[in-house]
């Protein structure tokens, strides 16, 4: 049994974090500040921006726009609760886009759970 949420933990969240880190760094935030805002170590941010982590997925333009908006908010003064809420919106968008289901089917070809929800 491999639930789809396993894909979220293994691929989706790292890909979102990698994209958030790249965007915030491109906006001029120092790597330590990016790490602090994402709740990560500086070493983890380094791995995300070098694609050692989170480099397996690409996002649709709609999801990319949501990630860009989240990065802008994180670069400002977004509260922790609002950051989690915004991240959940991005993740739900990924799920509704079918990306999660396609990734899940790569690992478990007989599953139709994603298609039902």
Give the span between the Cα atoms of 96 and 78, in whole angstroms.
Answer: 25
pTM over 0.95: no
Please determine, for residue 117, whether its predicted confidence score (pLDDT) is greater than 70. no
**DSSP one-letter code for 60:** -
Please determine, for residue 54, whether its predicted confidence score (pLDDT) is greater than 70. yes
Phi-psi region at 31: left, alpha or beta (left = phi > 0; alpha = psi -120 to 50): alpha
Q: pLDDT at position 108, please? A: 65
Give the span between the Cα atoms of 45 and 38, in whole angstroms.
Answer: 9
The domain of 92 spans 4-116
Give the span between the Cα atoms of 100 and 49, in whole angstroms.
Answer: 22
44-54 b/e (C-beta count within 10 Å ≥ 16 → b): bbebbbeeebb
**Percent of the chain predicted with pLDDT > 90:** 44
Residue that wins the pLDDT comparison between 93 and 23: 23
Number of folded domains in the chain? 1
């Amino acid at each position: 049994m491999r639930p789809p949420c396993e894909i979220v933990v293994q691929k989706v969240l790292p890909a979102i974090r990698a994209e958030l880190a790249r965007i915030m760094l491109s906006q001029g935030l120092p790597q330590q500040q990016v790490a602090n805002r994402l709740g990560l170590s500086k070493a983890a941010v380094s791995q995300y921006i070098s694609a050692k982590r989170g480099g397996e997925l690409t996002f649709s333009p709609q999801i990319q726009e949501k990630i860009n908006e989240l990065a802008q908010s994180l670069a400002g003064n977004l509260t922790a609760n609002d950051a989690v809420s915004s991240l959940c919106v991005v993740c739900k968008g990924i799920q509704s886009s079918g990306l999660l289901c396609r990734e899940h089917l790569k690992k478990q070809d007989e599953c139709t759970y994603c298609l039902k929800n």
